[in-house]
Amino acid sequence: MSLLTTLSLAWRALWRSWVRSLLTMLGIVFGIGAVIAMVASGQGAQQSVREVFQSLGTNVLIITNGAGPSFGASGGAGSRQSLTWTDLSRLSSGEISSIRWVAPVLQTRTQISSEESNWNTSVLGSTADWFRIRNWTAERGVVFDEDTGRSTAKIAILGQTVVKQLFPSSDPIGQTVRIQGQPYEVVGVLTSKGQGPMGDNDDTVIIPVGTHRQKLEKGVANYIRGQILVSMTSDELAESTMAAITANLRDWHKLADADEDDFRIRNPAEFAKAQQQSTERIATLLALVAAVSLFVGGIGVMNIMLVSVIERTREIGIRMAVGARPGDVMTQFLVESMSLALLGGVLGLALGALAAKYMAGYFGWKMFFPATTAAVAFLVSGGVGVVFGLYPAIRASRLDPITALRYES
């Protein structure tokens, strides 16, 4: 019996009772769907962790102003002005050996314009080290050096998205952009970093930190109204570096032992890891769902195939009478259960892809469709069909043609 004939026989038998076939498939559909969703979410989460590293640079700590009490109510992180420019220069002094670079980050969201267009973006004030920490270079022009970074020069470096908006048709280098009415000369354009966990990395403008303090904050207060980025020589030193910074800042801020920290230090790598762990938990749960669904789905296939063998006893008898060997009958039922399971697998792939898409949207990951896993899942569903279809198929093949022919349904 040719493969094609066997397949068409199986499909027709399944199609004949399509509602039943569909219901039987459900377990496998959900099983395979869960597998796909699991792997897709795992990859999405890993990718988002990678993006965190990529956009922030590796081995980075972020120091922010702490939550200040204002008449008993906590104002939330950053509400208190506590980090000073003196803190910044002391941190840069090399006193803590695991600190490599330190950069202040002042951030203002504002309207900027060129001759051609205008755009609302985030304007960062920082220094030369910021580019090193974020491992970001100029595609055209230059980034800040030690001097220009600290100066009050009215120069700006643009991200790719800003370039696209403000200079759609011309080279921005040497041209002027206006930030809150003030003209700045564009000295550099950054390479593209694309989408990050915090949105479009390229939608930004960087100006010298001195300029930011003078022009955008209109004053040169002692406090840093922003963050300090610290890069470490090694990721393994994160704990000790954080402890050292904490001790120093508490000392410099003259905090008593009973006082809470008036600053916060965050380790984005830790955050990313925590996120990864939580997705791993989801993945474990999905794996469990997948295993249980596939097993129950397999039992469902077996059950329906057993029913089918009984219902079609007479058909089996007829086939045997006209020359079907036990092997032919077994193959027919095996191919049928396998087709049922494979079809369930395909629907499961579709369901999994949908779930992956939904999760990607919900968690802000990139959508992944794990092709290798899909192929494996497809084979697994076929395997479920064969394994659970084996017993009914063997029962069908062992039927005695005489008894089967006499069977009254």
Q: Please report whether residue 317 would count as binding other proteins according to CB under 8 A.
A: yes
CB 185 within 8 A of CB 154: yes
Q: Please report whether residue 2 would count as binding other proteins according to CB under 8 A.
A: yes
Please compute Rg for the chain using Cα positions.
Answer: 33
Q: How far is the CB of 300 from other proteins (least distance, A)?
A: 24
Residue (372 or 409) nearer to other proteins, CB: 409
Out of 322, 362, 371, 372, point to the residue binding other proteins (CB under 8 A).
322
Identify the CA nearest to 34 among candidates 380, 387, 272.
Answer: 380
Residue (16 or 218) nearer to other proteins, CB: 16
Residue (249 or 324) nearer to other proteins, CB: 324
Q: Please report whether residue 90 would count as binding other proteins according to CB under 8 A.
A: no
Question: In what helix (H) or strand (E) does residue 208 lie, and over which residues does it extend?
Answer: strand 204-208
How many chain residues bind other proteins (CB under 8 A)? Answer: 22
Out of 7, 22, 244, 318, point to the residue binding other proteins (CB under 8 A).
318
Distance of alpha carbon 379 from alpha carbon 352, whole angstroms:
15
Out of 91, 315, 345, 365, point to the residue binding other proteins (CB under 8 A).
315
Q: What does the chain come to in residues?
A: 409
Residue (87 or 336) nearer to other proteins, CB: 336
The region of 61-69, 195-203, 292-300, 314-322 touching other proteins under the rule CB under 8 A is: 314-322
CB 272 within 8 A of CB 52: yes
Q: Please report whether residue 280 would count as binding other proteins according to CB under 8 A.
A: no
The pattern of x and - marking residues 327 through 366 that bind other proteins according to CB under 8 A reads xx--------------------------------------
> Which amino acid is it at 309?
V
Q: Please report whether residue 324 would count as binding other proteins according to CB under 8 A.
A: yes
Encoded tokens for 267: 């380790």
Pairing of strands 182-190, 155-158: parallel
The region of 76-84, 229-237, 291-299, 310-318 touching other proteins under the rule CB under 8 A is: 310-318
Helix axes 371-397, 326-363, angle to 10 degrees: 150
Residue (3 or 73) nearer to other proteins, CB: 3
Out of 323, 362, 371, 372, point to the residue binding other proteins (CB under 8 A).
323
State the DSSP string of 7-76: HHHHHHHHHHTHHHHHHHHHHHHHHHHHHHHHHHHHHHHHHHHHHHHHHH-SSEEEEEE-PPEETTEE--
Identify the CA nearest to 352 among candidates 49, 22, 28, 47.
Answer: 28
Residue (82 or 332) nearer to other proteins, CB: 332
Q: How far is the CB of 33 from other proteins (least distance, A)?
A: 33
The region of 71-79, 110-118, 122-130, 322-330 touching other proteins under the rule CB under 8 A is: 322-330
Out of 221, 299, 321, 375, point to the residue binding other proteins (CB under 8 A).
321
Chain Cα centroid distance, residue 408: 59
The region of 126-134, 141-149, 226-234, 320-328 touching other proteins under the rule CB under 8 A is: 320-328
Output 240-243 pairs: Cβ under 8 A, ≥24 positions apart.
Answer: 240/98, 241/61, 241/96, 241/98, 241/99, 242/61, 242/267
Identify the CA nearest to 126 among candidates 101, 111, 106, 153.
Answer: 106
Residue (193 or 312) nearer to other proteins, CB: 312
The pattern of x and - marking residues 3 through 22 that bind other proteins according to CB under 8 A reads -xx----------x------
Q: Please report whether residue 261 would count as binding other proteins according to CB under 8 A.
A: no
The region of 2-10, 228-236, 255-263, 335-343 touching other proteins under the rule CB under 8 A is: 2-10
Residue (2 or 169) nearer to other proteins, CB: 2
Q: How far is the CB of 337 from other proteins (least distance, A)?
A: 20
3-state helix, strand, coil in the chain (%, to 5): 55, 20, 25
Query: Which whole-number Å values give the CA distances from 109 to 54, 78, 106, 112, 114, in the listed order?
Result: 23, 17, 10, 10, 17
Out of 235, 325, 358, 361, point to the residue binding other proteins (CB under 8 A).
325
Binding site for other proteins (CB under 8 A): 1-2, 4-5, 16, 314-315, 317-328, 401-402, 405
